[in-house]
Structure 1
Amino acid sequence: MKIGLFFGTFNPIHVGHMIIANYIVEFSDLDQVWFVVTPQSPFKQKTSMLSNHHRLAIANIAVENYSKLKTTDIEFKLPQPNYTINTLIHIEEKFPNKQFCLIMGEDNLKGFHKWKNYEIILKNYELYVYPRISEGEIKHKFLNHSKVHKVNAPIVQISSTFIRKAIQEKKDISTMLPQNVWKYIDEMNFYKS
């Protein structure tokens, strides 16, 4: 089984994440996409982040009706900050019969050369890259690399930051979240203050 790992804080998960994950699992050779809910990115501060437990619960609600989309809390148990290379080694040990790949936006590919042990990641794992509108150039060595697969997924310009800010401003953004996720966030009063 070939699984794409879609890393993020998912604070919260929204329709943009769902559209990209579903597109990639349906229009590539991947069998499943796992949302890797990460407790802390080396590139992000923890300021307005919901607890690990709540973000995982929201992601679980989002994927409950999609058999090819899963969630994992594997990074919750690893030393922080989480580095992708450490997670990949750990997840392969835990699931030796599965083949893992990375899913990332073009913006992440542009900075991929800054990732810890990026050369080892690129040597051992395929990257599925979806389009993002962002500044900067992709390093030439990644453009035509045999392990880098560009996926022509729809460009979705919704961010978790935008969602949080809109909720705080009492905007109706219910269409930008899976319906069951919006209901849960609203009932739990998340992001309102």
Structure 2
Amino acid sequence: MKLLSAYSITLLTAMAAAKLQITLPNTHTEWEGGSMESIKWKATEESRNTLLSIELLEGSDPNNLNTVTTIAEKIPASSMQSYFNVPNNLKSSKNYSIKLVDDNGEEYYGQTFRLKGSKDTTSKKEASVRTTKPNVSDSSKEMVSQDQASSVSTNEQNANKSSSANTSAVDSKAMHKNASTANAAVCVSSSIAAIFGAAIAVAAGAMF
């Protein structure tokens, strides 16, 4: 218990003595690839005139951290804030951290935080799964239009057939009428010839 208390006092003393303290990101932070994230720190009066470089680290071993990228350089410590456009190609990990280095070479480390892979990659995967739905409304309209056109064409064909049939019937009636008229004319001519022949015979008999 005494050892724990001594350790806590030492830690608090070290934090109080630190010229710079990173406050964001922290253990509750989660970054995402493709997003703009904030980096914040506190600076003592004596350290505000220094310039800082900001580095992104990754690794589970605090004694063997890998530098992923240098986020910024020559940032005034007095600004106490910077921004980082997280690349899309960073791997997902819960062991990322931030390191500040002042122009005197002193290093300050932040807490570990989580970083998720790119949201753009997820969007591309979702887009590749999606399928385009057919436009049922347009298809239905097209089918109705085709049916209407077919119906009009059929009606026109039926009308043409009916007209042809009527014409044929009229022509047939006209032919029958003409034939009847011709027969009647022949009969009249025959009757006239018979009457004329009888008259000649009577006249000849009277002469003798």
Using structure 2 for the length normalisation, give the TM-score. Answer: 0.20
Which of these two proteins has the greater Rg computed from alpha carbons? 2
More helix, by proportion: 2
More strand, by proportion: 2
Using structure 1 for the length normalisation, give the TM-score. Answer: 0.22
